[in-house]
Amino acid sequence: MNLLAEYWRRGRDSDIWYSFTRNKLVMASAAITLLFFLGAYGAPLLAPHNPFDLASLNLSDGFKPPAWEEGGEPKFLLGTDDQGRDILSTIMYGSRTSLSVGFLAVVFAMTLGIALGLLAGYMGGAVDAFIMRVADVQLSFPAILIAMLVDGVTRGLLGADQHSKAAIYVLIVSIGLSYWVQYARTVRGQVLVEKNKEYVQAARVIGLPGPLIALRHVLPNVLGPVLVIATINLALAVITEATLSFLGVGLPPTQPSLGTLINTGQQFLLSGEWWITIFPGAALAILVLSVNLLGDWLRDALNPKLR
Amino acid sequence: MIAFIVRRLVQAALVMLAVAFVSFAMFNFIGDPVANIVGQDTPADQIVELRKALGVDDPMPVRFGRFVVNAMQGKFGLSYRTTEPVGRMIADRLPATLELSLVAAIFALAAGIPMGVFAGLYPNSWLSRMMMTVSLIGISLPTFLIGILLIYIFAVILGILPSFGRGETIKFGFWSTGLLTVSGLKAIILPAITLGLFQLTLIMRLVRSEMMEVLRTDYIKFARARGLSNRAVHFGHALKNTLVPVITITGLQLGAIIAFAIITETVFSWPGVGLLFLQSVVYADIPVMSTYLVMIGFVFVVINLIVDMLYFVVDPRLRTQGRTSGGK
């Protein structure tokens, strides 16, 4: 208990907490991000309807406008889509998928990038040159293109049926593969600085094996900037996922993410049912904007030198 | 300078070779090209003939060599989806994409640079503050969402601009242009804004921060001390010195514009290469995908080369330094 109080006191006195409470915009975006996580992961408990329970759907509820428009019903706050699914509930379930894919993709990219960056920085020589050359070539292509290529290639390898079953994993891997370069470069740069410091030399003198030094001693010292990149990348990964799903090469309509919802809603835009696509779109925009603002703030608060 | 150019050319060739190899590997190791073309009731001897004609059973280096030679002649095989030659499919759609990208890039530059200059000169005016806030939102909004919003506002609510297609086109030999007809010009407005908006915000922010930095330097103070007009100081001295990073970013972004055209073309059903690429990803049409990869790789490499050359034109300091790679 004492320990907890101690941590609390230390957290409250820290620079980060100070700069957090000083910035209303950041506090608002933190609150919104938190709200999204709550709504997304609490969806089965909090959502007013379960849009994937076929028994509870009624086709005669289809195309209901939002509650405040003429013809809307209070039980469907943001209206319904063509199959009578409540838009608010599909947004909550959709955000869960979007956030999960984004988060796992960032973890995958981070793991891959850290591993390769550590290897390149610590080994040096030909390994370093090879990894960094691959990184350079990949960096000259936009991430979304890489992700689409990986997706198309897996589709070719697995066949369409298998692919749509494994879609969520394929998506995580393809987004992860398109964002590892930034981590690898940052980690490598940090490792090059760290590995000549005295504590590494000391570890070498007492005879520790190379991999152990790299993992136990160097790695913890290069993680700071990596975590900052990861926050900013979460927004990017969510955008990439939404874009791919919107284009029809991401998640199938049976596992809708925000992008899939926007895509299926788009066909109704021209006939006037705007709420089916505009609300998921607004949800995506607000989510990305608040995560971006948080990431920017974290970067400035943790390390002013990174700017 | 010549040594620099030669080194860059060698680098570019190596990158192209790597891209070609990846695309070749995709082409050859994923799926069976023959199985993708023939139907279930194709007789066995036809399949054997086709295998021979496509040369799928030759050793790998032979096939890679053939792939590179064919690629240089613009021969990329047949699409699995339509069984048309891929080279022709792409050539047919290239003008649409290039026109869209060009208009988007011009829009981004023509609007982004003046806005950036203004925001840099008067950082505290309400207009600059508003532009900065709007640009932050612009960066956060995904491209396809901007496209949908524009369609909703200008095509659905106001009904003044078309929401899909290219309008009427006029053919000049192999090039079909939509820039000479009224319906074509109307059709390009929304896609070009969608595609260029992200680059616009980027260029604006970049010009702004560069301007603010340059305006603090001694040579600007000296120019003012000489009694030059504001106009001469701002545009003749300050803006000119911000151009090196702007050229770098614009050049690199031109490649990104062509790649992001995939999204814009899908939203607006624009009949370009990006839409073709997307369809080929959905159908796992490997020949089209790998050709697109080679093409985009080529575009990126050429743009990078041109950007490097432009440094020498814009920044005379680099010409005397020789071996430095220039830029930022």
Q: What is the pLDDT of residues A221-271, one digit of tens each?
A: 888 788 878 888 888 899 889 988 888 888 887 778 888 888 888 888 777
Q: Calculate what percentage of chain B has a pLDDT beyond 70.
A: 89
pLDDT tens-digit map of B85-96 = 888 888 888 888
Give residue A109's pLDDT: 94
CB contact under 8 A, A140 and B280: no
Whole-angstrom distance, CA of residue B274 vs CA of residue B262 = 4
pLDDT tens-digit map of B262-297 = 889 988 888 888 889 888 888 878 888 888 888 888
Q: What is the ipTM of this complex?
A: 0.79
pLDDT band at A90 (very low <50, low <70, confident <90, very high): confident
The answer on pLDDT for A49 being more than 60 is yes
Instruction: Give the mean model confidence (pLDDT) for residues B167-181.
Output: 77
Give residue A115's pLDDT: 92
Give residue B324's pLDDT: 46
CB contact under 8 A, A242 and B142: yes
Give residue B33's pLDDT: 63
- Give, in degrees to the nearest 5, the angle at Cα A36 between A30 and A38: 100
Give residue B325's pLDDT: 45
Residue of B17, B101, B281, B303 best to disrupt the A interface, most CBs of A under 10 A: B281
Give residue B328's pLDDT: 37
Out of A95-104, A204-213, A268-277, least confident range: A268-277
The better pLDDT of the pair A178, A62 is held by A178
Interface of A with B (CB under 8 A): 137, 140-142, 144-145, 148-149, 151-153, 155-157, 160, 235, 239, 242-243, 246-249, 262, 266, 269-270, 272, 274, 277-278, 281, 284-285, 288-289, 292
Interface of B with A (CB under 8 A): 15, 18-19, 26, 30-31, 136-137, 139-145, 148-149, 151-152, 155-156, 163, 255-256, 259-260, 262-263, 266-267, 277-278, 280-282, 284, 286, 289, 293, 296-297, 300-301, 304
pLDDT band at B327 (very low <50, low <70, confident <90, very high): very low
Give the Cβ contact number of residue A17 at 10 Å.
Answer: 13
Give residue A101's pLDDT: 92
Residues of B in contact with A235 (CB under 8 A): 140
pLDDT tens-digit map of B34-77 = 666 666 667 777 777 777 776 667 777 787 887 788 777 777 77
Instruction: Give the mean model confidence (pLDDT) for residues B218-244.
Output: 81
pTM of the model: 0.81
Q: Calculate what percentage of chain A has a pLDDT beyond 70.
A: 97
Nearest CA in chain A to B274: A145
Nearest CA in chain B to A266: B148
Mean pLDDT of chain A, nearest integer: 83
The answer on pLDDT for B184 being more than 50 is yes
A-B Cβ pairs (cutoff 8 Å, strict): 111
Give the Cβ contact number of residue A121 at 10 Å.
Answer: 26
Give residue B32's pLDDT: 65
The answer on pLDDT for B137 being more than 90 is no
The answer on pLDDT for A181 being more than 60 is yes
The answer on pLDDT for B105 being more than 70 is yes
Of residues A148, A156, A277, nearest to B148 (C-beta): A277
Give residue B83's pLDDT: 78
Give residue B36's pLDDT: 62
Give residue A113's pLDDT: 93
pLDDT tens-digit map of B5-31 = 788 888 888 888 888 888 888 777 666
